[in-house]
């Protein structure tokens, strides 16, 4: 991903005001913010019983429901799909230095907090200084070192390069100094007292209960008038209940994997829509490289030429993904990072090629069963927690494909989460399906599959196969800290070629951001053709979507 290292500017306020005028929002009688329909945003996570509006707490109701993102805004928004670009938001411009250790921002003028207080650069500095003085825990690992102010320009300094963590810095929720300087412990305060849940965002908190949270349009929002006057956040007990609510119209917008979505949701109403937005991450087959049968690269290569990624997309994910066929393991959104000599090199389902690779490596067949060079039948288990329906389906697909094509016995293992988690960390599995660390660029795949930094005290957080090669480790470090695009590209070439040579893991298909929504009342949603954001309402880009919506005719 190439988040722009040169100056990025955008007059968002101007664009939104023009949109509002074009929609006829020039008087109270015609103002959709006064007369438009509410949007109900739903999740399948069950009732949330503890009220908390703190955007920094992962278990707060504001974080779990997602409504923190429409109250507290970041300096800029990083698109996790589409062009992977950066849009300045509370900052009028954002610019990284060459090695991504300094971020220079110009705060947006004309912005007020929802209590009427003027927003200034002091609020940005105060927000980050909470990490520096220890009042707020740096859970994002930004290693912030301080800020310098020169007129309207602020430069935030970090101890290490944030090239692979740009979004974490840019998406930091900015909070009002005049309120938060009086909060004793921002790590725990739920912000439930009157007048504390104050932000610059397009919506303000109206009411809270375990059944529903209501927010209303911020009448002084810097981005102009909003088409949607009110948001209701509701959580259902499970995906089935959520699907029923979406079909009946009780819910308008959600992020969920819905099995048989065509029959259960899309066909119910032509206004119902579903968008799966590919990201830099992917669902990936991790193999334990330390033990048989995966300590032989020939077998790993044979699997890469046998597993059908299109089946993963069409059957296991029911279309909610796109296949990753490139030998580099990089998906479509990262295609511009693939080195020229590998740009056209892709896997396919080629059983003859897979068998040739195995034969040349000393494998044989006996009664259609694959026999390794030691004379033992090739057999392994593939593990995914029970109830992860898409990946449980993929387990069965891989077992069938490898048995029929290569004579490999694959045992499907579906433990509970605890057993699966322990095995992946301790390296006692044979194969698992897992996600990647999504950094928005090629680094995410390669650090997830080849970086020894993830192994601490014998336990792995990524690189579950425990791959290690000094040249690869050096290239990973260079990629993350390079001060020039040329150095980073050279490091990426090393990583891509090593991934092709060693096949430490097999990406199957993009790990997408999902969104279900309807166009009965509003249009302007993201689409495959206009991927300005994902349609996932739990992502920071929700503010872009809400400011882009217009009344349906």
CATH 3.10.105.10 residue spans of the chain: 278-512
- pLDDT at residue 8, rounded to an integer: 42
Check pLDDT > 70 for residue 13.
Answer: no
Residues 280-331: tens digit of each pLDDT: 999 999 999 999 999 999 999 999 999 999 999 999 999 999 999 999 999 9
Check pLDDT > 70 for residue 419.
Answer: yes
Confirm or reject CATH 3.40.190.10 for domain 35-70+201-271+519-552, answering yes or no: yes
- Topology of domain 278-512 in CATH is Dipeptide-binding Protein; domain 3 (3.10.105)
Residues 448-490: tens digit of each pLDDT: 999 999 999 999 999 999 999 999 999 999 999 999 999 999 9
Confirm or reject CATH 3.90.76.10 for domain 72-187, answering yes or no: yes
d(CA 379, CA 373): 13
Residues 371-393: tens digit of each pLDDT: 999 999 999 999 999 999 999 99
At 214, list the tokens: 């209501």
Residues 180-213: tens digit of each pLDDT: 999 999 999 999 999 999 999 999 999 999 889 9
Q: Which residues pair with 326 in a beta bridge?
A: 346
- pLDDT at residue 18, rounded to an integer: 30
Cβ–Cβ under 8 Å, residues 481 and 163 = yes
How sure is the predictor about 35, in pLDDT bands with cuts at 50, 70 and 90? low
The residue among 455, 448, 399, 446 whose CA lies nearest residue 427 is: 455
Q: What share of the chain has pLDDT > 90, as a percent?
A: 89
Check pLDDT > 80 for residue 65.
Answer: yes
Q: Which residues pair with 95 in a beta bridge?
A: 104
CATH 3.90.76.10 residue spans of the chain: 72-187
CATH 3.40.190.10 residue spans of the chain: 35-70+201-271+519-552
Residues 510-540: tens digit of each pLDDT: 999 999 999 999 999 999 999 999 999 999 9
**pTM (predicted TM-score):** 0.89
Check pLDDT > 70 for residue 3.
Answer: no
Positive or negative torsion for Cα 86, 91, 93, 95: negative
- pLDDT at residue 49, rounded to an integer: 80
How sure is the predictor about 48, in pLDDT bands with cuts at 50, 70 and 90? confident
């Amino acid at each position: 991903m190439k988040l722009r290292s040169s100056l990025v500017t955008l007059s968002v306020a101007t664009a939104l005001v023009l949109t509002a005028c074009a929609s006829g929002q020039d008087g109270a009688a015609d103002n959709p913010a006064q007369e438009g329909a509410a949007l109900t945003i739903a999740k399948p996570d069950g009732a949330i019983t503890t009220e908390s509006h703190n955007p920094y707490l992962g278990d707060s109701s504001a974080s779990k429901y997602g409504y923190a993102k429409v109250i507290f805004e970041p300096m800029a928004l990083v698109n996790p799909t589409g062009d992977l670009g950066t849009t300045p938001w509370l900052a009028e411009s954002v610019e990284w230095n060459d090695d991504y250790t300094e971020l220079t921002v110009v705060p947006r003028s004309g912005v007020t907090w929802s209590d009427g207080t003027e927003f200034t650069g002091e609020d940005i500095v105060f927000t980050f200084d909470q990490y520096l003085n220890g009042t707020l825990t740096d859970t994002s690992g930004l290693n912030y070192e301080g800020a310098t102010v020169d007129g309207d320009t602020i430069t935030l300094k970090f101890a290490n390069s944030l090239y692979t963590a740009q979004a974490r810095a840019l998406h930091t929720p900015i909070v009002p100094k005049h309120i938060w300087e009086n909060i004793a412990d921002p790590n725990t305060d739920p912000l439930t007292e009157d007048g504390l849940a104050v932000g610059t965002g397009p919506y303000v908190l109206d009411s809270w209960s375990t059944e529903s949270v209501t927010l209303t349009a911020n009448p002084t929002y810097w981005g102009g008038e909003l088409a949607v006057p009110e948001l209701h956040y509701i959580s259902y007990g499970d995906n089935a209940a959520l699907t029923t609510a979406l079909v009946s119209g009780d819910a308008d917008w959600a992020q969920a994997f819905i099995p048989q979505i065509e029959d259960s949701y899309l066909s119910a109403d032509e206004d119902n829509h579903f968008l799966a937005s590919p990201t830099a991450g992917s669902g990936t087959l991790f193999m334990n490289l330390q033990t048989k049968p995966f300590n032989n690269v020939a077998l790993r290569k044979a699997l890469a030429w046998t597993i059908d990624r299109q089946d993963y997309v069409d059957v296991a994910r029911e279309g909610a993904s796109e296949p990753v066929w490139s030998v580099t393991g990089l998906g479509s959104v990262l295609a511009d990072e693939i080195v020229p000599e590998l740009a056209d090199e892709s896997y396919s389902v080629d059983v003859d090629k897979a068998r040739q690779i195995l034969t040349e490596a000393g494998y044989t067949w006996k009664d259609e069963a694959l026999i390794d060079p030691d004379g033992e039948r090739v057999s392994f288990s593939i593990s995914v927690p029970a109830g992860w329906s898409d990946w449980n389906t993929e387990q069965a697909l891989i077992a069938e494909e490898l048995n029929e094509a290569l004579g490999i016995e694959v045992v499907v293992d579906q433990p509970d989460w605890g057993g699966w988690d322990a095995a992946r960390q301790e390296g006692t599995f044979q194969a698992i399906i897992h996600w990647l660390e999504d950094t928005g660029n090629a680094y995410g795949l390669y650090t997830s599959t080849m970086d020894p930094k993830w192994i601490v005290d014998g336990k792995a957080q990524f690189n579950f196969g425990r791959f290690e090669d000094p040249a690869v480790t050096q290239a990973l470090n260079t990629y993350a800290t390079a001060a020039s695009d040329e150095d980073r590209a050279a490091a990426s070439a090393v990583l891509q070629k090593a991934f092709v040579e060693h096949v430490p893991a097999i990406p199957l298909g993009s790990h997408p951001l999902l969104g279900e929504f309807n166009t009965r009342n509003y249009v302007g949603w993201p689409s495959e053709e206009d991927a300005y954001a994902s349609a996932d309402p739990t992502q920071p880009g929700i503010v872009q979507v809400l400011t882009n919506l217009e009344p349906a005719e």
